[in-house]
Amino acid sequence: MMEKHFTPMGYEAIANLPSDEAEAALNLLSTAEQASVILMTPWERRNEIILLSHDARKLVQTMPVQELFWTIKATGPQDSLHLLDMATPAQLQFFFDLDWWDKAELKPGKIVSWILLMYESGKQVVPAWMAWVAGKDETILPAFLRMFIRVFKRPDEMDVQEAGNIFPPFTMDETYYIAFRKEPLLPLWTRFLNDMFDLSPSLYRDTMETIVWEPSSKNMEDCYRLRNSRMCDHGLPDYYEALDIYAPLPGNTIRRIAWTMPETGGIADEELPAFVPTLYLGNFPLLLKAVERLAGTDSMVRIIREWVGAANKILMADQVDLDDPDALRDSLIRVAAHLNLGLEIAAGSEALTPSETLKSSVLEDLIRSANIIVRNLSADCLRLIRQGLVHENLQHIPDHGIEILRGILSPRPLMWDRSAGNFRSFSSLDDIRTARDIIRKFEAWGRLMAEILPHWKNWNRELPWNDTNFLHPHEVNWPTGLLTALARRSLGYSLRIRPVPEERLTELRTKWFGSIQPVSHGAGTVTCPEHVPDDTVEICADFLNQAAEQAGIGSSLLRSMVRNCLADLYQEWENLPQDQPIDGRFVSSIMVSLESAKN
């Protein structure tokens, strides 16, 4: 049963032992149990565990092929030569099918790198791979060799001596004469061609004939077709087919699977999937609960197959950098995150448990439903930019807002996790609601600030920047602009964004906050908006009533915006001595004119 291969085992218990003890402990386990330990080990540490096994070659050759590929990439191909030596030719060809291609084009640099690695890993690796290729795919050798060599065939009527005077000097059989396109690679390809000829003169002849007579375009087309066929056997589509994962949801409905067979506890399965998706679950509660409930069932076998297919579509469609293990891992975790979100969407609409939803749903549709709702967030942000409510470069957005909107607007939208200080995938409806609230918040800010002169698009041109506490317009965000206008209005000026005279800052503090009583804060906390006097909030909100009405902003939201702005300034000033003037150079919540200080 396939599930037995994935039994979780703690690799730490073995990895943390001294080398000789770790080797003894690992080899007490059966081969299947050793395989489980290896799969549960992080990619970059699998290599050292494999080498402890007395059945290392068998473990490598029975390892899910994508898991082996990721292990080699994370370890570093140069440090994985023994793994390449133990891999089967079919596994090697999978690596090449995945890594040699950019959409429908071969990558010469990757081909050279892998051929060199094969030679470094063992003298029989290249001949064994050639022998496998000879029986499986007659297109691949001429397809990539013609990128590095030119072949000239001696006509039957031309003698060898004459051919030697006309054609390039390198020949294996005095029939095909070869010119090398890049002189530094001559030793590599000379050795390669010699190995091919020694292995099979007929393979060498057929390869040369294809290069001489078959158009390059046809050779490449046939090679790409056969490559795609092999990839599909492992659940890997080509780039163009993979884009289907981002297609609209058919009928805007998640397709269901009618499972009528009784659950028998798993299906015997001779061939492992290309990778084990349940190793990349992340910390997503709905998905974890569903997988735990279905583990070992026939349904789980089908789910794993669909999961592998959907994840590989995303890897191919996103063109994830195969040389970046972190990017690969992030992409796999994003698949799990979208499945978790899709489960929540689907289960909520039909009142099903997560396991029932996972069992009865087409997994690609769960991912599509999640992707659609996430994409709608991105569309909402783009709408704000098109309407001129937000600058395309996100200028004047508060710092934390810039990261949030930047994540939503990224090619694959991400959620900014402020507490962790990094981006992560959207994984729940709570994430979606949070992002929607943030987008609405900045839409309200954009509409309100459009009603206060000068318009934020004209700040660079219309505001005086010399002798102020800001060096550049990009340093001033919307809350700072709003608070500056309110400060001037409170001091008897018009409601307009202009620097506040430094000599009136103490007066402003008294008007807004009276006698500030310092409040003790814990490390990393900020002043609560409730510390701002209610009267000040009401007065400032009244100043903005007309602008808010024109912007379509309700009273409650307006007061919340005002209170939060005032709280920032309150925090700046709460611990300043009451009997000393405020130094405008160190004020960051309002724009201050420093001309009087200069004079």
The model's pLDDT over 367-419, given as tens digits with 9 standing for 90+, comes to: 999 999 999 999 999 999 999 999 999 999 988 889 999 999 999 999 999 88
DSSP secondary structure of 81-103? HHHHHHS-HHHHHHHHHHHSEET
- DSSP summary character for residue 47: H
Per-chain mean pLDDT for the chain: 91
**Angle, nearest 10°, between helix axes 31-39 and 43-50?**
150
pLDDT at 12: 80
Q: At residue 8, does pLDDT exceed 60?
A: no
Contact 440, 399 (CB under 8 A): no
The model's pLDDT over 192-206, given as tens digits with 9 standing for 90+, comes to: 999 999 999 999 999
The model's pLDDT over 232-282, given as tens digits with 9 standing for 90+, comes to: 999 899 999 999 999 998 888 899 887 655 555 554 444 568 899 999 998
**CA trace torsion 357, 363, 364, 367 (10° rounding):** 60
Confidence class of residue 589 from pLDDT cuts 50, 70 and 90? very high
Confidence class of residue 82 from pLDDT cuts 50, 70 and 90? very high
The model's pLDDT over 425-446, given as tens digits with 9 standing for 90+, comes to: 999 999 999 999 999 999 999 9
Burial 572-590 (b: 16+ CB within 10 A, else e): bbbebeeeeebebeebebb
Residue 172 neighbours by CB under 8 Å, 6+ apart: 193, 194, 197, 204
* Averaged pLDDT, 506-523: 75
Contact 322, 215 (CB under 8 A): no
* Averaged pLDDT, 291-296: 94
Confidence class of residue 3 from pLDDT cuts 50, 70 and 90? very low
The model's pLDDT over 567-578, given as tens digits with 9 standing for 90+, comes to: 999 999 988 888
How many angstroms separate the CA atoms of 255 and 357, rounded? 11
Alpha-helix residue ranges (DSSP H) falling in 214-258: 216-233, 239-242
Residue 147's Cβ-side half-sphere holds a number of Cα atoms within 13 Å equal to: 16
Letter for the amino acid at 407?
A: G
pLDDT at 547: 97
Q: Which residue has the higher pLDDT, 579 or 303?
A: 303
Q: At residue 313, does pLDDT exceed 90?
A: yes
- What is the three-state SS of 417-474? ECCCCEEECCCCHHHHHHHHHHHHHHHHHHHHHCCCCCCHHHHHHHCCCCCECCCCHH
Contact 590, 566 (CB under 8 A): no
How many angstroms separate the CA atoms of 471 and 592, rounded? 11
Contact 274, 95 (CB under 8 A): no
Contact 362, 256 (CB under 8 A): yes
* Averaged pLDDT, 481-500: 97
The model's pLDDT over 123-132, given as tens digits with 9 standing for 90+, comes to: 999 999 999 9
pLDDT at 6: 38
> Quick count: other Cβ atoms within 10 Å of Cβ 74?
19
3-state helix, strand, coil in the chain (%, to 5): 60, 5, 35
pLDDT at 367: 97
Quick check: helix, strand or coil at residue 262? coil
Report phi then psi at 7, rounded to 5: -60, 120
How many angstroms separate the CA atoms of 153 and 92, rounded? 31
Residue 585 neighbours by CB under 8 Å, 6+ apart: 469, 592, 594, 597
pLDDT at 5: 37
The percent of residues in the chain predicted with pLDDT above 90, rounded, is 83
Confidence class of residue 188 from pLDDT cuts 50, 70 and 90? very high
The model's pLDDT over 532-559, given as tens digits with 9 standing for 90+, comes to: 999 999 999 999 999 999 999 999 999 9
Q: Which residues pair with 501 in a beta bridge?
A: 593
pLDDT at 175: 96
